[in-house]
Amino acid sequence: MTTCTASPCAAVLKGALALGNDMSYPVYRLFISALCLAVALLMYLLIRKTRLGMMVLVGASNREMIQSLSVKISLLYRLVFAMGVGLAVLAGMIAAPVSSVYPGMGGGVIIICFVVVVVIGGICSIKGALIAALLIGFVDTFGKVFWQEVAGVLVYLLMTLILLWKPEGFFKHG
């Protein structure tokens, strides 16, 4: 019978970074942040700098055009869906050690992820979605710390104010 041993990498991620005398921050959470930034950068480069990314962008906005260029749009859609599933699996794997994992665990944030971030950032704008996600995370976190009684409304209030100021979101189109 064999026993599982943790890898040396896992041992490094178990530590904590000291933030003064009384506070510390888990190294694993820093790893999560770095990994998410790396994945975001890779996705940006994939979509903006590769032929596949160009096909995805054109296929999302003009299906007939991409089909006229002899690209099998159904295969392209399946590939994009598979990439989305892969990202969801990666997110579940890195979230599992810091939160409980159960079916439907993303239901609480699905509206924020797919509506508010896209609406505030601008439809089809990757840069806008990234900026909106960071802004929403900032407002949500500080709202929960300083104004618990209205924290759930602050994100939607932010969305309302931004749409009153810029109805197309931060960026009009990707």
User: Tens-of-pLDDT digits for all 174 residues of the chain?
Assistant: 443 445 565 777 888 888 888 888 888 889 999 999 999 899 989 988 999 998 988 888 888 888 888 889 899 999 999 999 999 889 888 888 888 777 877 777 777 777 777 778 777 777 888 888 888 888 888 888 888 888 888 888 888 888 888 888 777 764
- Of 46, 75, 98, the one marking the end of a domain is 98
Angle at 57 between CA 123 and CA 42, to 5 degrees: 95
Total structural domains within the chain: 2
Same domain, 82 and 122: no
Q: Judge if 129 and 66 occupy the same domain.
A: no
Overall pTM surpassing 0.75 (yes/no): no
CA of 147: how far to CAs of 108, 134, 141, 142, 168, in Å? Answer: 20, 19, 10, 8, 29
Task: Give 77's Cβ-side CA count (13 Å radius).
Answer: 10
Do residue 92 and residue 20 come from a single domain? yes
Domain containing residue 58: 16-98
* 136 touches 93 (CB < 8 A): no
